[in-house]
Amino acid sequence: MGTTTHVHVIGDGAPWIADQVDAQGSYLLDFYPACEYLAAAAAGCDPDPAGGLERQKVNLKANRSDAVLSALAPHREPETVPDAQAPVRSGHRDLSNRLPQWDDQGALQKGGPIGSGEIESAHRYIVQQRLKRPGAGWLPRNAEHLLALRLNRANHRWKTSWQGCIQQAA
């Protein structure tokens, strides 16, 4: 990464994650956990929960969080109902508190992911498959080098990475 590299961070909305993203990056709330919240809320909002959820997914991907909030607002449970039993109110509050973190449309237009599933899958198959073998133990500096090699291969940058090493050695 360089000083002009844009970092696209996806997270679950935890403030400590968003706080670590500096001016060089953008923070996006993970689409899939958000859909889980909306699915719980849809049952209390729509006579057709599945259809209502699909409409709200389309709205989120198009950055129409105002439409999602408007659909949830009239169905919010009273404040006297505990959060654990108030999925509509909780979903409305969570979305309202994270409006700056919703830019699915922008991420999709740039060809970026809106969910962390790809990353989690890559972690399992690229990182863990090699580093978590039975009996394997790694010093952090060696694991970092091995991981860099695995990532270069997975990203089809094997030749490019070696050319950089050859140029440095020359």
Query: Three-state SS string across 10-59, please?
Result: EECCCHHHHCCCCCCEEEEECHHHHHHHHHHHHCCCCCCHHHHHHHHHHH
- Terminal alpha carbon distance of the chain: 23
* Cβ neighbours, 10 Å, residue 56: 26
| Residue whose structure tokens are 């001016």 | 23
Spell out the residues 6+ positions from residue 17 whose beta carbon is closer than 8 angstroms to its own. 9, 11, 27
Query: Which candidate, 168, 127, 121, places its Cα nearest to that of 146?
Result: 127
pLDDT in tens, 28-77: 889 888 888 888 888 777 777 777 888 889 998 999 989 999 988 999 99
**Cα distances (Å, whole numbers) of residue 149 to 42, 125, 152:** 45, 14, 5
Our CA dihedral for 165, 166, 169, 170, rounded to 10 degrees, sits at -150
3-state helix, strand, coil in the chain (%, to 5): 60, 5, 30
The separation between CA 65 and the C-alpha centre of its own chain, rounded to angstroms, equals: 17
pLDDT of residue 82: 94
Question: Residue 78 pLDDT more than 90?
Answer: yes
The stretch 84-93 carries a mean pLDDT of: 90
The stretch 138-155 carries a mean pLDDT of: 81
pLDDT of residue 1: 63
pLDDT of residue 62: 93
> Tell me, what amino acid is at 105?
Q
